Amino acid sequence: MTAVIPIPRDPPGFNAYLSDTGYEELLGELIYEGLAEQSPDGTFYPKLAKELPTYENGGISPDGLTVTWKLREHITWSDGQPFTSRDVLFTYEALHHPNNRLARVTGIELIDRVETPDDFTVILHYREPYPNIWGQFSGRGTGIFPRHTCGDLGWMLGWECNTQPVGTGPFVLQSWERGKQIILERNPRYWQTGRPFLDRIVFPIVSDALVRSDMLADGDAHMALWLTPEQLKFLSNIPDLQFISLPSRWLLRIAFNLATPPPAPVSTPTPTGRRRPTPTPLPPGPNPALADPLVRQALDLAIDRQRLADEVFGGRAQPAGSEFFRGWTHCPELTAPAYDPDAARMLLARAGWLDLDGNGVVEAHGVANVPDSTPLTVRFTAPDSWDTLIKAQKLIAQMWKEIGIRVQTEIVGPRDLQGSWEEKGMEVMGQFQVDLWDDGYPGSDPTDYLIWRYASWSVPDKTNNGQGGNIMRFADPEVDRLLSQALTQIDPRERRNTFCQIGRLLAERRPVLYLVYFTETHAVSSKMQNLVVNPNDALTWDALNWRVLK
């Protein structure tokens, strides 16, 4: 049995630690395996390990700092060499090596040392408890690498196994003709008896999206991946197809600069005795109007997320209400705010922003740190790295203008906006008011990302050389407490409850507005059997059970 899955271009390789295009995850998942893997419901199950280490079975020490993995015996790599604890040690050493710059992504920096007392035991000694221990040596297309064939520990980018992989997974690389096709065939040494069912999977490299759709419609392929709106429209008329739509990691968001605003400008009397603010340009730093949560809530309610998804992103996005919209961390109660411009105007009025002169722009009346009659003006910044993002910026600016806000849109280079401390990036230096961009946490565990983005100790400044991701300068003791609590919770179900509490607090405080999350849609032939969708892993996570009908 052969499955045919066309992809748009050659992947960078089979090592998903090095890049994040999606293709290396798709293929790496077929070749490499982790100590444990995550199921569709978010629970973990052992893969290369015999069992999950727990407090109950002694695999996790009472203080959470020592974790012992017992490995399956008699597993071999696809070239016949035995899989042992030394391969886990090699993988740790490569991820931890400073030249590879991967420790912050994987949490490896929290491991002080690794012991391998025998071929099938790995003991990890942590500097502090790490919640994602079960998922640390696994993930979307990642896992354990072979010590004997990859290469220099300090040069993962140049590893031979990036493009000529040797794995423990159900498939092996048979051939790769760049620009033409990749063929994976059944691993005859696979440790799960009788698996996989398929003899091979062929990945033709087909750059034209409509040609890939034609291949599926004509029965020459079994999947069409990452559909464009044009593909979706065409394939929706083809019978016997299943459509799978999953949230991607990417979330479009607006961030506010919540640093202490500058003092109010000095007002001078006019000849008539009325006081007006001295005309000054918008300051490069925080806007005092945005310090009021009511104003941020008004800006939130003034955004029509469904219109944004439809008009700007062609239906490839869905309204978002939190960081927790995908996989096992999904908090269904954290829905996107309803579009309600009338309620937004009322909130502005409550905050002291009213249009008393009838010019269509609200002005301050009794607002702290803002002279009376000052128009509510917001400088709204976006990077010029994506034309569609600029289109979204313009639409949101128009929505804000409709509730009486004067919006000054600003487009800057990505390095100018998101550059490092040395590059004097506007975000890390706090030289912005409101900005727009998309990002999200890699993999399926958001713990490290949430701390980097929202913890008060992650505000970029001189002491951390601008390394923190809390560019909003947001500080909340309860959010800090819950983030610290999440670091000690090994059970994903307990940690998810903590995440949802954090999500509710962020929805109230609004340091960030969550706009839309981007989706990926795939079409699958009815001839493809046993395909199980896992929102926590790559589409190929369970390909060892796939079958294809003739």
E-strand stretches of 145-274? 171-177, 181-186, 200-204, 223-224, 241-256, 267-269
Burial class (CB in 10 A: 0-12, 13-18, 19+), 504: middle
Helices (H) then strands (E): counts for the chain: 14, 22
d(CA 196, CA 188): 9
H/E run at residue 123:
strand 121-126
Residue pair 52/36 in contact (Cβ under 8 Å)? The answer is yes
For residue 350, how far is the Cα from the chain centroid? 36
The pLDDT assigned to 516 comes to: 97
The pLDDT assigned to 263 comes to: 63
The pLDDT assigned to 464 comes to: 83
d(CA 282, CA 416): 18
Point out the residues of the chain with pLDDT beneath 50: 267-281
Q: Which of 21, 300, 274, 56 is nearest to 140 (CA)?
A: 21
User: Collapsing DSSP states into helix, strand and coil, what is residue 542?
Assistant: coil
The pLDDT assigned to 262 comes to: 60
Residue pair 32/165 in contact (Cβ under 8 Å)? The answer is yes
d(CA 87, CA 93): 10
Residue pair 318/247 in contact (Cβ under 8 Å)? The answer is yes
H/E run at residue 122:
strand 121-126
The pLDDT assigned to 271 comes to: 46
Q: At 160, give phi and psi (nearest 5°).
A: -65, -35
Residue pair 294/440 in contact (Cβ under 8 Å)? The answer is no
Could you give all domains of the chain from N- to C-terminal order, each with its CATH number?
A: 1-32+169-240+526-550 (3.40.190.10), 33-165 (3.90.76.10), 249-260+283-519 (3.10.105.10)
All residues at 6 or more sequence positions from 273 whose CB lies less than 8 Å from its CB, including other chains:
none
